[in-house]
Amino acid sequence: MAQGTGTVTDLTGQGKAKDLVDVGGMDALYHGILKGVGEDPEREGLLKTPYRAAAAMKFFTQGYQQSLEDILNGAIFQEDNNNMVLLRDIEFYSLCEHHLVPFFGKCHIAYIPSGKIVGVSKMARIVDMFARRLQVQERMTNQIADALEEALQPQGVGVVAEGSHLCMIMRGVEKQHSIMTTSAMRGAFLEMSTRMEMLNLIRSAKNGF
C-alpha cells in the first residue's frame, strides 16, 4: 500500500484498480492510528486495513456529497390529498460527531400534503442523506423535517427518531438499553391533535395493527 496517496495498488489481488475508492490520503491517517493504539500496521492482517477503514469512512459520510435536489430527482407529484402520510421504521445509521462511534435506530416521518406528495423511497433517502454525516440526533431530526418542508411546502411535517448510541453503550456510562427519542414538528404538527394522531399511528403500527 502506498501510504498517504489515497490509493492501493492491488486491494483484491486481481489488479482491479478501477474498483478502488479515492480516499484522499485518509489511509495514511488510519495507518498512524493503528500505530497509535499499539498495533503493527505491517502485519499481514492489517496491511489493507488503513485503506478499508478509509473507504468505509467515505461511505459512512457520503451524505456530505449529496443534495436535496439530487435525492428528489423530480419525484414530487401533484396530488389532491390533504390526509396524513406516514412512513415509519426507516432504519438509519450515523456517526456521533463527538466520539466518531455509531448511533443507529429508526425514523418515522409524517406530513400532510398541500397539493404535492413525494415518492415514498425519497423520504428514506432524505433520512440517509443526513444520517450519513457526522451528526447529533437532535440536528439530524430537524434537518429531515426542514428538508421535507422545503421540498413540499406541506400543511405540516412531523419527524420522530429513536436511536441507540454506542458512545453510551460501549463507553462512558455503559447503559446497554438506553434509547434516545427526538422529534421535530412543523406547521400543523404543532397542534396537539395532529401530533397525537401521528404518535398513535406509530404506536398502533408497532403493536401490529
Digit-by-digit pLDDT tens for the chain (209 residues) are 444 444 444 443 434 555 788 999 999 999 999 999 999 999 999 999 999 999 999 999 999 999 999 999 999 999 999 999 999 999 999 999 999 999 999 999 999 999 999 999 999 999 999 999 999 999 999 999 999 999 999 999 999 999 999 988 887 777 777 899 999 999 999 999 999 999 999 988 666 55
Contact 124, 153 (CB under 8 A): no
Q: Does domain 1-60 have CATH number 3.10.450.50?
A: no
Q: In the annotation, is 98 catalytic?
A: yes
Q: In the annotation, is 31 catalytic?
A: no
- From the list 31, 96, 135, 143, the catalytic residue is 96
Q: In the annotation, is 165 catalytic?
A: yes
Question: Distances from the Cα of 94 to the Cαs of 38, 145, 158, 160, 179, in angstroms?
Answer: 27, 17, 20, 16, 15
Taking the C-alpha atoms of residue 183 and residue 141, their distance in angstroms, rounded to an integer, is: 6
Predicted structure pTM score: 0.86
Pick among 3.10.290.10, 3.30.1130.10, 2.40.37.10, 3.40.50.720: CATH of 70-206: 3.30.1130.10
Q: What kind and span of H or E run contains 105?
A: strand 102-112
**In this structure, how many other beta carbons lie within 10 angstroms of the beta carbon of residue 57?**
17
- From the list 31, 137, 143, 197, the catalytic residue is 137
Q: In the annotation, is 177 catalytic?
A: no
Q: In the annotation, is 99 catalytic?
A: yes
Q: What is the pLDDT of residues 136-159, one digit of tens each?
A: 999 999 999 999 999 999 999 999
Q: In the annotation, is 108 catalytic?
A: no
- From the list 39, 62, 79, 98, the catalytic residue is 98
- From the list 31, 107, 162, 165, the catalytic residue is 165
Q: So where are the chain's domains?
A: 1-60, 70-206
Cell numbers describing residue 88: 415509519
Taking the C-alpha atoms of residue 164 and residue 207, their distance in angstroms, rounded to an integer, is: 21
